[in-house]
């Protein structure tokens, strides 16, 4: 469990908070590139770490991410004109480029010195892996651009999506680093004896802290004197990667891949989850139809979202369409969709969990370690110390993996070749 004051230190992400200050030292996903499809197109509202912003793709195709309100009279720039490499407020015509500089002030006398003094808050952006990344911290502390392996995988071998979660980011991150729940929450066929997570429901965890965060392995006993081992990666501060080469199934999937998520705090009580997958084999592109089918299986496919949003149709307002007869006879939850099952539990905890009321067990080791690393990091940034996970030379050379290994074998040796980065 966490002390109430430590819980507060982690869950609050607005400007000036310990966690908010920490996350502003990392590149954060702001939105999908696909949300800004055309140059000089309509601006898009963005809320990230408790700040209201507007994103737009300018005439040259570069992305701007700026304060949602004009510095003149605080008019909303969402209604602005995106034209000629800048966004123009429709209230009085003041125009700003993606660096926040005022390039035109037609309502004031020509040559006014006010134009040079007025500045619109703007954050630098880069596009990688189908995601617009932004850095919201001090310019002098800006780290190198992110370089995770999935960002280097070509578009033919990669798929990324986004979903809205109605709770604090930490509940989602903890769920993503919890391997034990898979045997229960995601058991969609309780009569399937070939499902690797059903044979052993009490995995043994091994956690090792690294320069980028940590890796941890979960080991489950399987049949034929084998173990099913899944290697997870936690890349600070908010990213999880897990092996899905074997995928808990008796037969390996058609397209061996790695899955992962980044939990980007919208504010203290809501989150955007970025979901990515990428092929582990350069010779095996990831067909879009396969990726979409997988998303639908997870419950976050295009047909699962409220049109025009990233919100699930199965949500708190309809109890995630739980089917009690299906729960009695077939699946553990009666809720369709792996992602939806996660949201039902994580959102159902309330927008912010009181972790002082928890009773943790041995399979919570990865969660405990993550909390400790984040808490330590909030103090480290206050002391001006180096932070984990910022160096691409460290976070760009790790990947996750899973597979069956002989019970008496060392999984590290068995995974050595397969878990090496290829992109």
Q: Please give the pLDDT value at position 198.
A: 81
Of 270, 296, 276, the C-alpha closest to 352 is 270
- CATH number for the segment(s) 149-415: 3.90.380.10
Question: Cis bond leading into 387, ω under 30°?
Answer: no
Could you give the percent of the chain with pLDDT greater than 90? 90
Edge to edge, the sheet with strand 102-104 lists 81-82, 87-88, 95-96, 102-104
The residues, ordered by sequence, that sit 6+ positions from 77 with a Cβ below 8 Å of its Cβ are: 43, 54, 66, 67, 68, 69, 70, 87, 89
In 98-139 the beta strands, taken as DSSP E runs, fall at: 102-104, 122-123, 125-128, 131-135
Q: Please give the pLDDT value at position 250.
A: 63
Q: Please give the pLDDT value at position 269.
A: 98
Once rounded to an integer, what is the mean pLDDT over residues 309-335? 97
pLDDT at 352 over 90: yes
What number of helices (H) and strands (E) belong to the chain?
13, 19
Residue ranges matching CATH 3.90.380.10 in the chain:
149-415
pLDDT at 91 over 70: yes
Domain 29-141 has CATH 3.20.20.150: no
Q: Please give the pLDDT value at position 195.
A: 78
CA angle 282, 283, 289 (to 5 degrees): 95
pLDDT digits (tens, 9 = 90+) for 279-292: 988 999 999 999 99
Q: Please give the pLDDT value at position 44.
A: 98
pLDDT digits (tens, 9 = 90+) for 182-224: 999 999 888 776 678 888 899 999 999 999 999 999 999 998 8
The residues, ordered by sequence, that sit 6+ positions from 51 with a Cβ below 8 Å of its Cβ are: 14, 15, 67, 136
Once rounded to an integer, what is the mean pLDDT over residues 89-110? 98
Residue ranges matching CATH 2.102.10.10 in the chain:
29-141
pLDDT at 246 over 80: no
The β-bridge relationship of strands 95-96 and 239-244 is: unpaired
pLDDT digits (tens, 9 = 90+) for 27-86: 999 999 999 999 999 999 999 999 999 999 999 999 999 999 999 999 999 999 999 999
CB 238 within 8 A of CB 23: yes
Instruction: Quote the pTM value.
Output: 0.96
pLDDT at 370 over 90: yes
Q: How many CA atoms lie within 13 A of 160 on its CB side?
A: 23
pLDDT digits (tens, 9 = 90+) for 152-166: 999 999 999 999 999
């Amino acid at each position: 469990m966490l002390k109430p004051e430590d819980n507060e230190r982690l869950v609050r992400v607005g400007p000036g908070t310990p966690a908010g200050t920490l996350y502003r030292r990392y590149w954060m996903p702001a939105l999908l590139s696909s949300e800004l499809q055309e140059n000089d197109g309509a601006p898009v509202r963005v809320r990230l770490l408790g700040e209201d912003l507007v994103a737009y793709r300018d005439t040259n195709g570069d992305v701007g991410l700026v304060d949602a309100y004009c510095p003149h009279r605080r008019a909303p720039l969402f209604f602005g004109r995106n034209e000629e490499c800048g966004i123009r407020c429709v209230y009085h015509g003041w125009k700003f480029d993606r660096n926040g500089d005022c390039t035109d002030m037609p309502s004031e006398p020509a040559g006014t010195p006010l134009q040079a003094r007025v500045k619109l808050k703007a954050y630098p952006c880069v596009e990688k892996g189908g995601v617009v990344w932004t850095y919201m911290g001090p310019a002098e502390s800006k780290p190198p651009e992110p370089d995770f392996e999935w960002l280097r995988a070509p578009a033919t071998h990669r798929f990324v999506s986004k979903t809205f979660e109605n709770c604090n980011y930490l509940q989602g991150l903890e769920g993503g680093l919890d391997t034990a729940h898979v045997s229960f929450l995601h058991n969609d066929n309780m009569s399937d004896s070939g499902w690797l997570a059903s044979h052993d429901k009490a995995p043994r965890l091994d956690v090792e802290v690294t320069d980028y965060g940590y890796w941890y392995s979960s080991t489950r006993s399987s049949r034929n004197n084998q173990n099913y081992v899944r290697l997870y990666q936690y890349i600070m501060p908010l990213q999880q990667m897990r092996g899905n080469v074997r995928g808990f199934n008796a037969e390996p999937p058609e397209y061996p891949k790695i899955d992962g998520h980044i939990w980007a705090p919208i504010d203290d009580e809501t989150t955007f989850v970025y979901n990515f997958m990428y092929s582990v084999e350069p010779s095996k592109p990831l067909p879009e139809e396969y990726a979409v089918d997988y998303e639908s299986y997870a419950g976050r496919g295009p047909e699962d979202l409220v049109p025009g949003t990233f919100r699930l149709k199965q949500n708190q307002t309809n109890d995630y369409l739980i089917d009690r007869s299906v729960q009695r006879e077939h699946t553990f939850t009666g809720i369709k969709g792996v992602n939806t099952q996660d949201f039902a539990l994580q959102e159902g905890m309330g927008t912010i969990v009181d972790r002082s009321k928890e009773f943790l067990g041995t399979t919570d080791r990865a969660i405990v370690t993550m909390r400790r690393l984040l808490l330590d990091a909030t103090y480290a940034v206050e002391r001006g110390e180096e932070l984990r996970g910022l160096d691409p030379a460290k976070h760009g050379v790790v990947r996750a993996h899973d597979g069956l290994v002989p019970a008496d074998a060392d999984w590290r040796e068995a995974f050595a070749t397969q878990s090496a980065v290829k992109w």
